[in-house]
Structure 1
Amino acid sequence: MKVIVIGAGLGGLALAGGLRRAGIDAAVYERDQSPLIRRQGYRLHLSDVGIDALTSVMTPERRAAFLATAHTPSPRFVRFDPTLKESEVLEHGGLHLSIDRQTLRDALLADVAETITYGMRLTGFQDAADHVTARFDDGTTVTGDVLVGADGINSAVRRRYLPHARIVGTGLVQLYGKIPAELAEGMDNVFTAITGPGHRMVGVALTRDYATCSFGARAEDLPPDVLLMTEEQLRSLVMDMTDGWHPLIRRMISQWYEVFPLELRTSVPIPPWQTTHVTLLGDAAHAMSPAAGAGANLALRDAAALTAALAHGGPLIPALCSYEQEMIDSGFAAVRISAADGARVLGQDPLPSGPPVRPA
């Protein structure tokens, strides 16, 4: 069996690793010219779901080495007001880790680097009775038994395969950056949110070496060119927007570094689709608000579940159908939970209601 994986993000790399361990041929095609070309965030939250998935997609030695780099925060979500008065505490069960995104990506990449071809932009695919052929913008074609769209929220596979599936804005823009770890003393939780008037939020989460610091606000309350601003301009903007907040928060923003803006978007749940030799995983299928901290965990879970389905040895389409049923149900359930949490804590727009509009 040969599996064509489109996208070398966390989900695509995890799938390639799992397939390789299962003895299945995987070829990964990534549109970026290198794995370091885009900033996608810093700290990630791993729950039991993601940690367990690493068992099947990494070698035991690689997994142990990676987990040794993780930080274990207090298993709770804590919310403060701008004076740092505690307003909400939610206790979490299970194991929770704070990890560095690039460290995880490097660990996943280490065992599958030779399977990846960079600079390959998918332009289409053809699904036949017993195989699927992918086409790329340099004229290359590749044929395999399965094509997996692991190419993120802007998935080229999803746009062609499920043109009625929608990605919509949440109404929020998030600015991501880092602060020295010592500034987050007393905030060593799975996530700490300081929420103020007008749905303004400063989020803090520790890793072993630094703390992430994010600022979120409604898009209409930010300058129209916020996505083009320099780091210095973004820092100045947030200092203005947190005027009067606790001095510790102000120190965090004044020492913010490696800051970049991102418009937050989400998928809109759709009904199950007919199974073919093409499938999706992670954000390509069920992108969501970061409010529940579930996105990376679900991408890893999808990779482990798809690996297990393909390694089972039975007929291919039933195996893919079984994988998709669980992926769609649990993935879109997480989208709804994340949207609800985002609306409650961050002021996110509600998910659009009503059936999807299918192409004529």
Structure 2
Amino acid sequence: MRVIVIGAGLGGLALANGLRGTGVDVAVYERDASPVIRGQGYRLHLGDVGIDALASVLAPERRAAFVAAAHVPKPRFVRLDPALRVLEEHDFGGRHLSVDRQELRDTLLADVKGLITYGKRLTAFQAEAGQVTACFADGTTAAGDVLVGADGAGSAVRRQYLPHARVVGTGLTQLYGKIPRESAEDLDHVFSAVTGPRHRVVGIALTRDYATLSFSARSEELPSEPHLLRSLVMEMTSGWHPRIRRMLADWREIFPLVLRTSVPVAPWNTTRVTLLGDAAHALSPAGGAGANLALRDAASLAAALTAGHPLIPELRSYEREMIDSGFAAVRASAANGARILGQDPLPS
């Protein structure tokens, strides 16, 4: 069996790891020209789902080294007001890791570098005669028995395969950056959210080497000019606790991200084309679940493709679980995002 994977993000790389050495021929095609052409973001949260998925797809020694080097936060969510008074706390239980996204990506890349071809932007695919052919912008093609869209929220595979499936704006923009770890040592939770008027939110989470600080607000409140972002955030948090103001003054490497979410759709007929991660069920970060779901999808799909059973029933079983749990997480993240961040409701 030959599997064509479109996208070398976390999910696509995890799938390649899960298929490597199983007898399945896997090839990954990535539109970026190289793995270092753009930033990959900062801190990610991994819970039981993501940790178990890594154990499933990675070589044991590589997974053990990665987990041993990761930061372990206290397993709770804390919401505070601008005076830093605690408004609510939730204990999660289970296992939790705070990891650097680039370090996770490097771990997933280490054993599958030779399977990836860069500079390949998918323009279309053709399915016929028990085979799927991917067509790229440079005029080349690649054929396989299965095509997997692991190409994120803007998935070219999904656009052709499920043209009715929508990814929409949440009405929010989030600014991501870093602050010195020592600034937030006593806020070492899975996530701490300082929530102010008009759903303006400062989010804080530690990693081993730094803390991330995010600021969320309605998109219409934030300028498009990057050089104005810090000064505007300082204005929007005027009167907040001096400690938050000091964190914002130390904020660095800031970049904006317009938050989007998929709109759940009904299950589709299973074919030799399938999806994983954000390509199927993009969600806002309010649930902290995106990376975990992508890794879980990859581990589940790898298991389906190597089960040795008829292909379509295995893919159907994978998709049934992926759709149910993925869209449940989309709905939960949307509800949480509406309550805490002021996210727009999911369209019906």
How high is the TM-score relative to the length of structure 1?
A: 0.95
Query: Could you tell me how far 1:38 is from its partner in structure 2?
Result: 2.5
The aligned counterpart of 1:288 is 283
Gaps of 5+ in 2: none
Of residues 15-24 and 170-179 in structure 1, the stretch that sits farther from structure 2 once superposed is 15-24
| Cα displacement (A) at 1:41 | 1.9
Letter in 2 for 1:122: L
Q: Is the 8 A contact 2:222 2:229 kept in 1?
A: no
Tell me, in whole angstroms, the C-alpha distance in 1 between the residues paired with 2:87 and 2:306: 48
**3-state SS of paired residue (2:69):** coil
Matched residue type, 2:59: T
Which secondary structure does the structure 1 equivalent of 2:23 belong to? coil
Identity among equivalent positions (%) equals: 73
Give the aligned length: 348
Instruction: Give the Cα separation in 2 of the matches to 1:42 and 1:335.
Output: 22
Q: Which residues in structure 2 correspond to 1:213-228 (within 5 Å)?
A: 213-223=213-223, 225=224, 228=225
Cα displacement string for residues 17-56 of structure 1 (whole angstroms, at most 9, x for unaligned residues)? 0000423111000001111223342000000000000112
Question: What are the equivalent positions in structure 2 for 1:248-327 lying under 5 Å apart?
Answer: 248-327=243-322
Following superposition, the deviation at residue 240 of structure 1 comes to 1.1
Give the match for residue 356 of structure 1: none
Classify the secondary structure of the residue corresponding to 2:154.
coil
Gaps of 5+ in 1: 354-360
Q: Does 1:86 align with 2:86?
A: yes
1:12 touches 1:303 (CA, 8 Å); kept in 2?
yes
* Structure 1: distance between partners of 2:226 and 2:40: 17
1:141 and 2:141 correspond: yes
Offset of 1:129 from its aligned partner? Answer: 3.2
- Partner letter of residue 120 of structure 1? K
Per the alignment, residue 17 of structure 1 pairs with 17
- 1:357 aligns with none
CA distance in 1 between counterparts of 2:60 and 2:23 reads 16
Contact 1:171 1:349 in 2 (8 A): yes
Distance of 1:42 and 1:146 partners within structure 2: 32
Q: Please give the secondary structure, in 1, of the residue aligned with 2:35.
A: coil
**Alpha-carbon shift at residue 128 of structure 1 (Å):** 1.3
Instruction: Confirm or deny: 8 A CA contact 2:264 2:330 kept in the other structure.
Output: yes
Following the alignment from structure 1 to structure 2, what is the Cα–Cα distance between the partners of residues 167 and 188?
33
Distance 1:163 1:240 in 2: 42
User: How many Å separate the matches in 2 of 1:237 and 1:114?
Assistant: 45
Match of 2:66 in 1: 66
Task: After superposition, give the CA deviation of every residue in 1:290-318 in whole Å (9 maximum; x if it has no partner).
Answer: 00100000000000000000000111111
Residue identity in the other structure for 2:2: K
Quick one: distance in 2 between partners of 1:345 and 1:200?
A: 9
RMSD: 0.8
Q: Give the match's secondary structure for 2:271.
A: coil
Query: 2:157 aligned with 1:157, yes or no?
Result: yes
> In the aligned structure 1, how far is the partner of 2:22 from the partner of 2:346?
38
Cα shift readout 1:144-188 (whole Å, capped 9, x = no counterpart) = 000000000010100011000000000100000000001112100
Counterpart Cα distance in 2 of 1:209 and 1:229: 25
- Range moving further from structure 2, 173-182 or 237-246: 237-246
Give the structure 2 partner of residue 196 of structure 1. Answer: 196
Asked whether the equivalents of residues 22 and 307 of structure 1 are also in contact (C-alpha less than 8 Å), the reply is no
Structure 2 CA distance, aligned partners of 1:150 and 1:283?
7
SS in 1 for 2:329: helix
Work out whether residues 174 and 217 of structure 2, in 8 Å CA contact, stay in contact via their aligned partners in 1.
yes
SS in 1 for 2:333: helix
Q: Does 1:229 align with 2:226?
A: yes
Q: Give the match's secondary structure for 1:312.
A: coil
Q: AA paired with 1:229?
A: P
Superposed, which structure 2 residues align to 1:102-113 within 5 Å? 102-113=102-113
